[in-house]
Amino acid sequence: MSSVARVTTITVRSEVSFDDAVAAGVARAAETLRNVSGAWVKEQKVEAADGRITAWSVTLEVTFVLDD
């Protein structure tokens, strides 16, 4: 038996951490997409003000398996 997957790109911002951004992105993708099977962190960025990090963002490649 074979399966077919698709990948979609999303960007997520968190004021807590990179881990929080990734978790929020996967959770949000799973609300809209069925069969989310994983994600690849393609890019990481931070926002800063006055020498302090104010937000973390990630670009994720989310993989989901298509229904038969």
Per-residue confidence at 2, pLDDT binned at 50, 70, 90?
confident
Residue pair 43/10 in contact (Cβ under 8 Å)? The answer is: no
Superfamily of domain 5-65: Flavin-binding protein dodecin (3.30.1660.10)
Three-class SS of residue 19? helix
pLDDT in tens, 21-63: 999 999 999 999 999 999 999 999 999 999 999 999 999 999 9
- How much is the pTM? 0.89
Domain boundaries, the chain: 5-65
Q: 21, 2, 1, 23: which is closest to 12 by C-alpha?
A: 21
